[in-house]
Amino acid sequence: MTRWMRIVSSILLLGIIAGGVVAIILWSQYPGRFPILAIEVQDELKRVTESDIAEACQTHLDKGFFWVDIEGVQQSITRLPWVASASVRRVWPARILVSIQEQVPQARFGEEGVLNTEGLIFFPDKSTIPGQLPRFNGPKERAKEMLQQYHAVLEKLGPIGLSVVELNLAPNGTWQMRLNNGIAIILGKAELNERLTKFVLAYQVKLQTLISKIAYVDLRYTNGLAIGWKTGV
């Protein structure tokens, strides 16, 4: 065989191989080839349902195992309100394996939002929001600051058996809160830690015996505090 014929034969062979590869690729892309038969979730979930995940994945699974849009599946799942992060991978021969980290709620924010542990607001279906969460009301851009202040308040109030059911930050920067015993606390704009310390001391000494009569405590005074009494008590 001449050198020229060998070159032509090699080219033909490469063409046949390339054509075969293309044919296999096209064959594998046909929707009926290697279908995804199951979506398996690794984690035990509290608020994200299997139907939520299946619906999020559905539009990405029509190309079969080899050509499924894994990144698209992951992005669709991550857009679910209660999903903080997600990872997705193929498992031969016909499964998609999904790992999900759910949002951890810290507080309700306004009427419809929920604040997570990072101080970020998300908006799930109202029916899925836990009822025992405290409520925050304030500017969205200060949500993270409100979460930090909430935890600082709990450190002060926890030892005396109190917690916060509502935390408010007014547009002018004034902080107020309502405690689990019904008392409203006006903290003001500055020296919040010092004012909370003053309240804790007053509560331990006297105020806890007057809970049923107190409507609010105003801590914006340098040398003391003011008490608003319930009417008709």
**Quick one: 101 exposed, middle or buried, by C-beta within 10 A (0-12, 13-18, 19+)?**
middle
Using the predicted structure, report yes or no on whether residue 184 has a pLDDT greater than 50.
yes
Q: How many helices (H) and strands (E) does the chain have?
A: 5, 12
How many angstroms separate the Cα of 165 from the Cα of each of 124, 134, 177, 231? Answer: 20, 4, 8, 22
Overall fold of domain 105-229: Rossmann fold (3.40.50)
Q: Are 67 and 42 in contact (CB under 8 A)?
A: no
User: Can you give the length of the chain in residues?
Assistant: 233
Lowest mean pLDDT among 43-47, 81-85, 139-143, 162-166: 43-47
3-state secondary structure of 107: strand
**What kind and span of H or E run contains 70?**
helix 70-78
β-bridge mates for residue 137, sequence order: 168
Q: Give strand pairing partners of 214.
A: 229
pLDDT tens readout for residues 45-66: 999 998 999 899 888 887 787 8
Q: Round to whole Å and give the CA distance between 109 and 143.
A: 8
Confidence bin at 155 (pLDDT 50/70/90): very high
- At 10, the pLDDT band (50, 70, 90 cuts) reads low
- What mean pLDDT comes out for the span 204-212? 92
Domain 38-102 class?
alpha beta
- Residues 30-50 have pLDDT tens digits of 555 678 888 899 889 999 998
